[in-house]
Chain A
Amino acid sequence: QKEVEQNSGPLSVPEGAIASLNCTYSDRGSQSFFWYRQYSGKSPELIMFIYSNGDKEDGRFTAQLNKASQYVSLLIRDSQPSDSATYLCAVSGGKLIFGQGTELSVKP
């Protein structure tokens, strides 16, 4: 059974701080990793994907992948109240295997 684990939170950070979201996965053969953001009542929205070990940056978002440790993270710099949402880590193996999501709350 392939599994993806996330801390469910809620994770609360002050506005302007760095939010760090973490995810571990069980299938060592996984190749593709995704972070989605889901606002309450809305569908998931792709933030980033990462395939290679190391960091990948896109604006205020940085995804980090460590395949040896089976660990993927998402850093959000200069967090804003509009970043408050549930963040879903997903690992692709044909179909996406989702973590349970981490609820992030950014306080003004």
Chain B
Amino acid sequence: GAVVSQHPSWVICKSGTSVKIECRSLDFQATTMFWYRQFPKQSLMLMATSNEGSKATYEQGVEKDKFLINHASLTLSTLTVTSAHPEDSSFYICSALDTASTDTQYFGPGTRLTVL
């Protein structure tokens, strides 16, 4: 099956710093990737849709200046949490859309962010 990786798998940072999370599709090209956030015991929340070579589309209520998304290649999208604060601590998960075969989203393993 299609494989999506994320790096890092976990990160702890101080309040006010920025954190970059990478999402890679390893065995397929993904023109579209998605970024989700999930708090404990809650549902996945879509943050933004990332399209290769164009600006990301953010969901309502998600601050685009705080969560910077770059999708510079067909296999890599990055999410940068700028000036992170403790309330940004969450589980961030990316997915990549495999349009070449089944139009299916495959999820990365997630990145657990803790802001102190």
Contacts and interface: CB of A to CB of B under 8 A. Distances in A.
Specify the main secondary structure of chain A where it touches its partner: strand
B93 A46 contact: no
Contacts of A71: none
B103 A101 contact: no
Given A32-B103, A46-B106, A92-B103, A98 B1 contact: no
Specify the main secondary structure of chain B where it touches its partner: strand
Central interface residue in A32, A41, A46, A90, by most chain B CB within 10 Å: A46
Contacts of A43: 91, 93, 107-110
A96 interface: yes
A49 interface: yes
Interface string B24-38: 000000000010000
A42 B46 CA distance: 16
A101 B38 CA distance: 13
Interface residues of B, number: 18
A49 B104 CA distance: 8
A95 B44 CA distance: 13
A96 B43 contact: no
Contact of B49 (A42, A95, A100): A95
A45 interface: yes
Nearest to A45: B107
Interface of B: 1, 34, 43-44, 46, 49, 91, 93, 95, 102-110
Interface of A: 32, 34, 36, 41-46, 49, 88, 90, 92, 95-96, 98, 100-101
